Structure 1
Amino acid sequence: MNERELQAFVAVAEHGRMDMAARALGYSQPAVSYQIKCLEMSLGTKLFVRTSTGVTLTRSGALMLPSVQAVLTLMRGIKATTADLALAG
């Protein structure tokens, strides 16, 4: 599980479509699909139900979403703190 996979998960959940999430992230659609597949394999659960019109969160995905969003917020905070320390010298 890595930051890019978590970002892809949140983007797909927010957009409801892999292609729109990919566009928002600046990735290709196959790259986002692969990141979701890797995350699902790592967690041992399906996160989305895929349909012809997009995706919806599974129960597991819906339960995970707030935690993943919190982790990404923490990661952004850590990066900002590190950048601030680097600037302060």
Structure 2
Amino acid sequence: MNQRELEAFVRVAELGRMDLAARSLGYSQPAVSYQIKCLEQALGVRLFERNSAGATITRTGALMLPSVKAVLVLMNGIKHTVSSSVRP
């Protein structure tokens, strides 16, 4: 699992649609679908139920969402720390 997959997961969970999540992230809809599929395979669980109206987060996905958001905050903090320490 990587940062892009986690960001896609959060955005789909927030917006309820992969196409809207893709647009907000600047990706194509197939790219977001692929990222979600890869994350689901890595974790061995379904995170969303897909239907014609969009994507509904599963119970497992909803339980995981706060932790994923926290991980992304930590990852962004690490990037900020590293970029700050590299400045002359």
Same fold (TM over 0.5): yes
Tell me which interval the TM-score lies in, with the shorter structure as reference length: over 0.9
Partner of 1:52: 52
Residue of structure 2 equivalent to 1:6: 6
Q: TM-score, normalised by structure 1?
A: 0.97
1:19-55 deviation per Cα after TM superposition (whole angstroms, max 9, x unaligned): 0000000000000000000000000000001111111
What is the aligned-residue RMSD (CA, Å)? 0.6
Question: Which residues of 2 match residues 1-89 of structure 1 at below 5 A?
Answer: 1-87=1-87, 89=88
May I ask how many residue pairs the two structures share in their alignment? 88
Runs of 4+ in 1 over 2 A off after TM superposition: none
Q: In percent, how many aligned pairs have the same letter?
A: 69
TM-score by length of 2: 0.98
Runs of 5+ in structure 2 lacking a partner? none
| Amino acid of the structure 2 residue aligned with 1:65 | L
Question: 5+ residue gaps in structure 1?
Answer: none
